[in-house]
Structure formats: structure tokens, C-alpha cells
Structure 1
């Protein structure tokens, strides 16, 4: 998950929130003003997200041969990115991801796409709270809340504390300052990767766990492919990236470079993390790091700081969509907005406390939302739009698109089933 937007000619990373913020005159996009390099940077920052921490665990779940699945997904999502570009070219009135759904399937299409976007952002920001709780607890294992006869363990305490800290940012309406700060997204991912290499090579951890690795684990393949899919859930922001680009005929080249750079980070982190910790690698590799090492502290602190910047901006479309479901007379009531946003954050805290299983929850998000938003929707919308526009498609291309659709359904079904089974198992044995 990431941010989008070009404001007053300056670079700021993209976010799905932009399409909603634009409608509320809170953040503007300078159409056709973004260079090739800026589009590449924004695209890479959009793609890189929590997957950077999860890929070693994904590799441990599926084994070394599961990297073939990561490479396959990389090919699929790059192609569906091209399909989004083609959908945009079919009608200049298309500006956002939901517009593609509406242009293809009418109001129903727009509603379905909007629901996927809403759920994706809600799950991603809930994941931030779990991530914060896990990593802060590893840094400060003795911290816990004991008040009014109630005892809350350290991890849950940090989830609640971080939600309280983040709530004021959710109450803000003008979030442009966060868009500027979040320009460090790509640098943060490189910094985490560099810190992992530092810990492994210079601080005694080493890369000697090859004997505990597996070539192929069929049982863990659904989890692995769901987490790999989670790494590429950025397609909803591609239409805005396309709209903002100055030379739109270079868009796919910029997108290809963004995917290639991001995939390099993902593959490097997966291999290094798996070699460092083998089958013992946690759902977040930062939880394996010895916290007294300098490199570990850098990786963990960067991991903790990043959600502080992204949380409010990524949650903004969810906030606006929730508020807009109430009568318009309430929209100007400040107290009403505060209550709605506080309740929304509270529901995320409840979910994070009830389901603190970061790996399984993110696998569920990858299977349900990643496969749907980055594979199924672009393919079906392009098939419908190209059919309406009477665009001739080669038989080979049509077959390839349907292969992607069938693959996305397989990921959806197998990944959802496995993730839910794992979550229920953890709850029963909690």
C-alpha cells in the first residue's frame, strides 16, 4: 500500500486517497505535469509497502521454488498495469480506478471497485496498528498497561497507545503535509534492506540457515502466494499516476521500471531473510532481529516510523466514504466528524486486538483484495471496455487475460480458505 499525488509541481508519493481528496478540494493533482523519473519514483513508492517485511516469511512458507510464483505474479501485475493504461486511453473521462469500473460495468462496477478499494485501505491501516504493536513490543518488552484493575499485555498496550497517538492525524482534513513527508517511502525500503544486510554480514547473525530451508512446501503455497500478491496491491492508484504524467506514452516504461525496482527489493529481502533465519523467520522479519544491534535498531525504528506518516492519508478515503453514508446535514458538524473518525479508529483497534496475527491477516488481504484489485478487475474491465469499443484483440492475448483471471480466482479461493483456517486455529489456541 502507498500514496499518490502531485501538488504544485512538487513530487509527493501517490495514494488512493487522492481521488477522494480531489473531490473535496483538499489536495490537487497537476494533470500532465509529472516527469518520467517522478512517475517511476511515485510508482515504486506505491508498490513498496508492508510486503518488504513479509516476503521472507512468504518464502519460508512456500520454499525456494515459491519464488517462481513471485516472478509469475510480477509478470501478471505488470501486464494488468498495461491493461489499466489501455482502459484509460479508451476514454479521456476516466481519471480514477473507480471510473474504470463504472465505464466497463456501470454503477455496479463502480460500487464493486469502490468496495475493494475501501476494504483494501481499511485492512492495510489495521495492519499498521498490528505492525506497530509487534515492533514496539520487541523494542520495549516490559511495557504494559495496568490501570483500574485492568492488565493489558505489552503488544496490545502498544496497539492502543499508537491508535491514540494517530487519532489526531485522522481528525485533520488537510493532509498534504503528510504527502510530502512520505516521499521518503522508497528510501525507507532501501534503508530496511541495507540494515538487514548489515545485521547479517557485520553483526554476527550471518547467512548460515540454509540447512533449515525447504525447496518446496506444498502446504504453505497458498499462504506464500497470498503474501506475494499482497506485495502488488497498488493498481488502484495507477490511473492517477497516468493522468499526472506529462508524456503519457512513456507511462508503461515508467511502470515497468517501478515494478522491476520493487521486485528487486522484495526478492533481495526474501532471500536474505530466509538465509538468515530459515524456517524460524517471523511474519515480520524485524521481529527476528537482535534488538541490541545497531542495524536492527535502524530497521525497526524505520519500520515503526513509516506507518506514522502513512496511516492518516491512507485512511482518508475510508473516513470520507463512511461520513458520506450519513445525511449531508451532518457533514459540517465538527463533533459528528470527530465521533465518526474516533469510532472508525476504535473498530480498527478492536480488529487488531482480536486478530493480532499479522502474517495471516495480510495473507487474507492479499488473497481477497490483492488478487481482486490487481488482477481480476483490470482484466475484466479491459475485456468489457475493449469489447464495447470494438477493439480487436488477438486470440493469444484473450487467452492470456483469461489465464490471469482464472489464476486470480484460484489465489482468491485457496488463499482465503488457508488464511481463515490459520486465523481460526490461532484464535482457538490463543
Structure 2
């Protein structure tokens, strides 16, 4: 029997420590391993950095980019440019904070937004603060995308079959929803990567069509850039509504931790490296989509621009029909990106709290109910964009602009009046202003549109 030398002893100690670590992990997850392998967020962790890039583009660049020229017409050149740039910078900073905080506790990953909230604010308070706001954002965006998808399909129909009998938007929303009754059964984020990539490419494509077709059409005669409100009150309400439109354009933070959860991570190579690379690429694409559409669209049409820049363009018909088709493909992907964390919440509740077995039947029923719910609300309230401007102001601004800053202050506790401390408090102040002001415009928008609205028209 041989003797143990120092190398053997060292390797034995290392092996023992690794075994201990594994046993600790196994102890922590043995009971939940089957469930965690089944849940959408934690079932697959083999994504690459470029998955994060196009998931973030799909989440961020919604069809709301087409309303940015209209938002500019209500903000004006000076405030509009400042707000666009500030929003881009602030949301990139808060997104960096969330990427950093994903693995701030060694050996632990905050795979979901509410888990980070629980670390910052406590087990119960974290849930109460984060979950309602996240649900308003994610479910709200899915309802808006139901409306957008249906409206874009209707535009395609009306352009191609000009003169054909008119079909209600309701039916087009139902056609759009039928796609999601199929796609919603893809199990996790990685399984929808193909749909997400197509959506990201489409967002860049229709944004490019919007600003390039605006240049081709040229500046309109007698273009004006003054506020178009009839009085000071209307101008102010329009300004507040435009703030909500800009906030809605930067809503991707609600799914960023869930996206990062799909990237593999080790102590030597944490997930924040590839995730941050993906985020930077995504934000460059966001800038290439947002700024040209907003500034060129407003420059060419002035305050007469429609709330959807594609409507202002009208011709050539084939190009506008194609752009609307690209919008449909994009919002199909975006719907899935925002639905996946909601599916995870629903399935976690059903399996972990209510003790249902993690089966295909459970997933099939729960996800179909969710899609049917968003379809029903979209059909009932196709002016939901204004409704979201009201409720979303309370949720989009916190989850995107300043809740990450509050978490950063609570967890890292930077020195008072240091650069980090000051930066975070500035973001919190600006985010609070946005949260208070944008719902005012949204409420006024709802009242105006609901006056003469006929249900299921």
C-alpha cells in the first residue's frame, strides 16, 4: 500500500471540498431539481451572449418606436431630444446595475426580478414591491402587442385589398392570438430564440423603412414644429402623454434578469460578462432604431405627424404593407419574451405553492388561459395604449428608471455623496417625476378615447 505524498493530499482535500460543495448544492436543490428543470426560467442555461443581444432588442424595440415622432411633436425639439438621450443613458446605466447584481452573492443567482427585490427589501416586502409592478408591465405589454398585431394585420389587409369589405379589428386580433396559442407552448427562453432573432431583425428592418421612407417622401409643405395643443392645458397633457410613450419605449428591464438566467455561469466566467456584451450590442441597435425614426420623422412631418409614422407615409403601398408585416413578426416575438416570465410566475405558483404536478397538461391549460385573457382584454379595450400610459406610468418608470437604483443603494450602500450615490439619487428623482407625470397624460387620453368608443366594433 503506497504512501500519500503532498500532491495527493492536496488533490484529496480539493476533491473533498468540491464534493462538499456539490452536496451542499444537491441538498439545496434535490427536492426542487425536477421542478427547476421544468420551470421556463431555470430549465436551460446554455445561452450565448448573442442570445442576450437579440432577446434584449426584441424586448426593448417594440412597435412603440413608430410613435416616437408623434411623441417628439408633443415634446418639442429641445425637451424631446434631451428626454430621448437621457432615457437612453439612464436606462443603460440601470440595466448595467441589474446585470451586475444578478450574481452579487457568491454561489447564488437572482434569476428573477422579484428575487433581487427580496434580497434588497426583504422576503415579503420585496415580493409586494416588485411582483405587482412587473406583472403590470409584462401583462400590459402583451395586451398592447395583441392590439398592435391585430391593427397591423388590418392595415395589411386594407392596403392590399383596397376596396374590399371592411373587417373588424376584433377578428384580426383573434387571428394574431391564434399564433400565440401555438408558440406559447415552447418551454423556455432558449426555445424561443429563433422567434426572438426574427423579431429583432424585423424591428431593425421596419425602423429603417420608417426613417428612410420619410427621407424619400421629403419635408412636407408648410411644416410646423410648434405645439399643436389648442390651449396650454391640452399642450401640457400631450407633453405628459409623450413622457409615457418614451417610458414605454424602454421597458426591457422587466425581463433582463430572466434573460441573464439562461447564460451559463462559473466563478471564473460569471454570466455578467457575456450578458453585458449582449446588452451593449442591443443598446446600439436601440439607438439605430429610436433616434433616426424619432428625429427624421418629426423633422419631415412636424406637428402633423400621425401617432404611427407609417400612417403618415401612405406610399408606396407595397413598402408600407411590408413594414406592417415586419411589425407583426416583431410583436409575435416580443409577446413571447414578455410572456415567458409571466408563465414562470404562474407555473411556480401552481407547482410550488398549490402543489400541482409539473406536467404538460398543466402548462397547456395555464398558458392557453393567459393567451385567451390577453386576447379578450385587447378586443375589449383596443385603446389599451392609453390605459397603459396611465397604469404603466406607475410600473414602467420604477422598474426601468429607478427601482434598480434603490436596490443598488440598499445592497451596496455606497458612501454618501460619492459619484455612485449621487448618480443613483439623480436617476431616482427623474424616475419619480416620470412616474407622477406620465399617468396624468394617460388618464386624459383614456377619457378622450372612451367618450365615443363602441365595444367590439
TM-score bracket for this pair, using the shorter chain length:
0.7 to 0.9
Aligned partners of 1:335, 1:354: CA distance in 2, in Å?
A: 28
How far apart are 1:268 and its partner, in Å?
0.6
For the pair 1:183 / 2:197, whether they are aligned, the reply is yes
Relative to 1, partners in 2 of residues 1:258 and 1:343: Cα closer, same or farther, differing over 3 Å?
A: closer
Aligned partner of 2:226 in structure 1 is 214
2:253 to 235, 243, 261: 235
| Aligned counterpart, 2:67 | 54
| Residue 327 of structure 2 is aligned to residue 303 of structure 1 | yes
Structure 2 residue aligned with 1:401, among 424, 427, 445? 424
Q: Is the 8 A contact 2:155 2:324 kept in 1?
A: no
Residue of structure 2 equivalent to 1:14? none
Cα distance in structure 1, aligned partners of 2:341 and 2:294: 31
Aligned residues: 398
1:9-56 CA-partner distances (Å, limit 9, x unpaired): xxxxxxxxxx988745874123xx745x66555544443223322212
1:21/1:229 CA distance change after superposition, 3 Å: farther
Structure 2: gaps spanning 5 or more residues: 1-34, 229-234
What is the CA distance between 1:254 and its match in structure 2?
5.7
Q: Kindly indicate whether residue 425 of structure 2 is the aligned counterpart of residue 425 of structure 1.
A: no
What is the aligned counterpart of 1:83 among 97, 114, 123?
A: 97
Aligned to 1:103: 119
Deviations 1:208-247 (A, max 9, x none): 2672333695442211221111122212344456563857
Question: Would you say the 8 A contact 1:291–1:297 is kept in 2?
Answer: no
Aligned to 2:5: none
> How many angstroms apart in 2 are the aligned matches of 1:373 and 1:403?
16
| Range with greater deviation from structure 2 (111-120 or 321-330) | 321-330
Name the CA distance, whole Å, in 2 between partners of 1:270 and 1:25.
34
Post-superposition offset of 1:178: 2.7
- Aligned match of 1:370: 396
- The residue that corresponds to 1:140 in the other structure is 157
- 1:86-124 alpha-carbon deviations (Å, 9 max, x no partner): 434531313323222111112221443233222221111
CA RMSD of aligned residues (A): 3.5
What is the SS of the residue equivalent to 1:140? helix
Cα drift, residue 419 of structure 1: 0.4
CA distance in 2 between counterparts of 1:110 and 1:91 reads 19
Match of 2:122, SS state, is helix
Task: Compute the displacement of 1:308 (Å).
Answer: 2.7
Q: What CA deviation, in whole Å up to 9, does each residue of 1:333-382 have, x standing for no partner?
A: 76665554343233222321232125424534652322111122101111
- SS in structure 2 of the partner of residue 309 of structure 1: helix
Q: What residue is the counterpart of 2:15 in the other structure?
A: none
Given that residues 64 and 214 in structure 1 are in contact (C-alpha distance below 8 angstroms), is that contact kept between their aligned partners in structure 2? Answer: no
1:386 maps onto 2:403 in alignment: no
Distance 1:316 1:41 in 2: 15
Matched, 1:194 2:197: no
Normalising by structure 1, what TM-score?
0.79
| Matched-pair contact (CA < 8 Å) for 1:85–1:242 | yes
Match of 1:259 among 255, 259, 283: 283
- Structure 1 contact 55–269 (Cα < 8 Å) conserved: yes
Q: Which ranges in structure 1 are unaligned for 5 or more consecutive residues?
A: 1-18, 144-150
Moved more, 265-274 or 244-253: 244-253
**Bigger Cα displacement from structure 2, 89-98 vs 65-74:** 89-98
